[in-house]
Amino acid sequence: MKQFEKYLLKIAALIGLFIAPFTLHAEEINMGEKIEKFLNDTGFAYLFQGNWLCIVMIIVACVLFYLAIVKKFEPLLLLPIAFGMLLTNLPGAGLFHPELFDGGHVHWANFADANKVGLLDYIYLGVKLGIYPCIIFIGVGAMTDFGPLLANPKSFLLGAAAQIGIFATFLGALALGFTYAEAGSIGIIGGADGPTAIYLTSKLAPNLLGPIAVAAYSYMALVPVIQPPIMRALTTQKEREIVMKQLRKVSKKEKIVFPIVVTIFVSLLLPSAAPLIGCLMLGNLMRESGVVDRLSKTVQNELMNITTIFLGISVGATTTAAAFLNFQTLAILLIGILAFSLGSAGGVLLAKFMNLFTKNKINPLIGSAGVSAVPMAARVSQNVGQEANPGNFLLMHAMGPNVAGVIGSAVAAGILLSFLM
């Protein structure tokens, strides 16, 4: 009992210490006003003031959490995107201020007042300045083996054919009333390349960054669901059973020279594509040169992971209720799946066309891997091929168009930038 009394005395003393400053200055501080101000400043008060759309966005964020954690749909990027979406839609938190980036420009003068700038505003600068996508491309290059592409140069054509979805969707978006810049940003979804979509959209249509990024990564995650029906519809059983000739061995010298030559040629032909292509090839040169293993491993792991976190949170931050919950977002999601489907179909159809003139037949299933979803699209080609012929191994053949698609989407982005900026 005495021990209990001691605890009560200690609690009373703590309460007294807390209240004392207020009682000493009771004349200066109106406790009722302070409590009312505290309650009015809570996020719950903002919700009751008509900000119910924030609740919808928080629910959308929770759905993305479910897809990332339970369904494992692109969790490495979908999870930080969902958390960025959650943070930016918390009423009263003031973590992101779209007005700082109005008109597609960074209003640097407004960053001088730290009280008017949120944490996500600073992180978003990496997207706005084009830093994060380029770093991601260095990591992608360091993790990519261009050997299958060099062993079968025809793969370049299949990767290029898959980009038809980008330009076809560009025309479709224009027909729906989007501006040229917005249509170009929407079209790039057809390349199934998240970093490229983010890079291009941040330049051409930053107001659509959130919906386009979410659409691009969602469709990348749904590659195993979207592509197989298209592949089966466009090919016969006999075509799916085609066994391709084994690829030749690519020399180390070829692998070293390739990124240097591609960087020079593409950058001279299309300077606007130099940032993405240059970073992609830099990462690949680190991998293939064999003299900077430490840098190569860092780019593939630590640097790639850190940048992915910042990129995801930044993209999620742009998905405010005002920017996301409108007709445009619904149109982007619908056009996006059309773009991706056209890209997948384009590669398959070109492979069928090439078989009319080539002696060594191409399995048309590898054409669908021409979209940039590396290596998911190549694995889908392998799986569908083995359904038709269990002894058929298409993975390495499909990696050729797959990595060609990465280059192709970056080049397509450069073309759109040069024409639309």
Nearest Cα residue to 376 out of 181, 222, 218, 205: 222
**pLDDT tens digits for range 134-166:** 999 999 999 999 999 999 998 889 988 888 888
Is pLDDT larger for residue 54 or for residue 121?
Answer: 121
Q: What is the mean pLDDT of residues 261-281?
A: 94
Q: What is the pLDDT of residue 323?
A: 82
pLDDT value of residue 206: 87
d(CA 241, CA 65): 39
Q: Tens of pLDDT along 287-322?
A: 999 999 999 999 999 999 999 999 999 989 988 888
Peptide bond into 133 cis (omega under 30): no
Return the structure tokens found at 204.
């051409």
Average pLDDT over residues 6-20: 56
Closest by CA position to 361, among listed 244, 247, 246, 248: 244
Of 15-29, 175-189, 313-327, the poorest mean pLDDT is in: 15-29
Q: What are the CB-based long-range contacts (under 8 Å, 24+) for 101-107?
A: 101/128, 101/206, 104/205, 104/206, 104/207
Q: Which residue has the higher pLDDT, 192 or 370?
A: 370
Output the DSSP codes for 284-347. HHHHHHSS-HHHHHHIIIIIHHHHHHHHHHHHHHT--HHHHSSHHHHHHHHHHHHHHHHHHHHH
Structure tokens given for 75? 């969790």
Q: Cα-atom radius of gyration of the chain, to the nearest Å?
A: 26
The pLDDT value recorded for residue 321 is 85
**Rounded alpha-carbon distances, angstroms, from residue 287 to 143, 146, 150, 300:** 7, 11, 16, 9
DSSP string of 24-88, one letter each residue? HTTTT--HHHHHHHHHHTSHHHHHHTT-THHHHHHHHHHHHHHHHHTS-SSHHHHHHHHHHHHHH
Task: Report the pLDDT value the prediction gives residue 211, as an integer from 0 to 100.
Answer: 87
* pLDDT value of residue 270: 92
Residue 25 predicted with pLDDT over 80 = no
Confidence of residue 112 (pLDDT cuts 50, 70, 90): confident
Based on the number of CB atoms within 10 Å of its own CB, is 313 exposed (0-12), middle (13-18) or buried (19 or more)? buried
Q: How large is the average pLDDT for residues 326-332?
A: 86
Q: What is the pLDDT of residues 394-411, one digit of tens each?
A: 989 999 999 999 999 999
HSE-CB at 138 with a 13 A cutoff on CA atoms is 20
End-to-end CA distance of the chain: 79
- Report percent pLDDT > 90 for the chain: 44
The residue type of 280 is L
Q: What average pLDDT does the chain have?
A: 86
User: Which residues, other chains included, contact 82 with Cβ-Cβ below 8 Å and sequence gap of 6+?
Assistant: 61, 62, 64, 65, 68, 316
pLDDT at 284 over 90: yes
Q: What is the pTM of this model?
A: 0.85
State the average pLDDT over residues 41-45.
66
CA distance 118 to 100: 10
Whether the Cβ atoms of residue 355 and residue 234 lie closer than 8 Å to each other: no
Tokens at 161, concatenated: 């054919």
What mean pLDDT do residues 330-343 have?
86
* Structure confidence at residue 274 as a pLDDT band (50, 70, 90): very high
Instruction: Supply the pLDDT for residue 267.
Output: 94
Question: SS3 for 107?
Answer: coil
pLDDT at 277 over 80: yes
**Dihedral in degrees, nearest 10, Cα atoms 332, 337, 338, 344:** 140
